[in-house]
Chains A and B, each alone.
Chain A
Amino acid sequence: GQQVMQIPQYQHVQEGEDFTTYCNSSTTLSNIQWYKQRPGGHPVFLIQLVKSGEVKKQKRLTFQFGEAKKNSSLHITATQTTDVGTYFCAGRDTGRRALTFGSGTRLQVQP
């Protein structure tokens, strides 16, 4: 079945450093979504990408969807302590009705 992998599993950065998490699917995706889960909280939707090669920005966050629609990335510029949490990608391939979530990347930011 469909598998969605994320790397790294965990990253610890100094405040002000950049951070990137990568999401790779075993199948072609019709769309990809990104969620953030703060420690002790629940996932909150960040953004959705649909088109091949699409790039979207939200302030310091940049999201990319690969040309083959099998991978995606989230890049945070100049991290802040408010960025702490686990970032999940979630995608749906053409043969499946529900989303498959990646394993997540836990980000820790040292002030």
Chain B
Amino acid sequence: DGGITQSPKYLFRKEGQNVTLSCEQNLNHDAMYWYRQDPGQGLRLIYYSQIVNDFQKGDIAEGYSVSREKKESFPLTVTSAQKNPTAFYLCASSISLDRTNEQFFGPGTRLTVL
């Protein structure tokens, strides 16, 4: 949907393991975002990037890390330091960060840590 792919749709990991969620977009967008959604709650911003090799912490960055080596890709690593990693993770992109552009979301990855 919207040219953004996230895989896998469902992911299971054991507690204490790091896990990397993929996000790829073919929209030629400069800005990309990672959000976390918990049941009955809104979207909370984890990290965002306005351009290759640049990214900024969002509101809940602790326990997460990202990289932006290519324009199309913005993978998110959920580290063992994240205290409550089980959640629905959404990746999004927009033309740029500074303009008031709409965000396009991927289908999401539902992570369950056992």
Contacts and interface: CB of A to CB of B under 8 A. Distances in A.
Contacts of B48: 97-98
Of all A-B residue pairs in the complex, the 4 with the closest CB atoms, nearest first, are A45-B102, A101-B43, A42-B105, A103-B42
Contact of A42 (B1, B33, B59): B1
Interface string A38-65: 0001111100101000000000000000
A106 B107 CA distance: 19
28 contacts: A6-B42, A9-B40, A31-B100, A33-B100, A33-B102, A33-B103, A35-B103, A41-B107, A42-B1, A42-B90, A42-B106, A43-B90, A43-B105, A45-B103, A45-B104, A50-B100, A88-B42, A90-B43, A90-B103, A98-B45, A98-B58, A100-B45, A101-B35, A101-B43, A101-B44, A101-B45, A103-B42, A104-B42
B96 to A, nearest CB: 10
A9 B42 CA distance: 10
Interface of A: 1, 4, 6, 9, 30-31, 33, 35, 41-45, 48, 50, 88, 90, 92, 97-104, 106
A21 to B, nearest CB: 12
Contacts, number: 60
A44 B42 contact: no
A19 B96 CA distance: 33
Contacts of A90: 43, 103
A98 B102 contact: no
Nearest to A47: B102
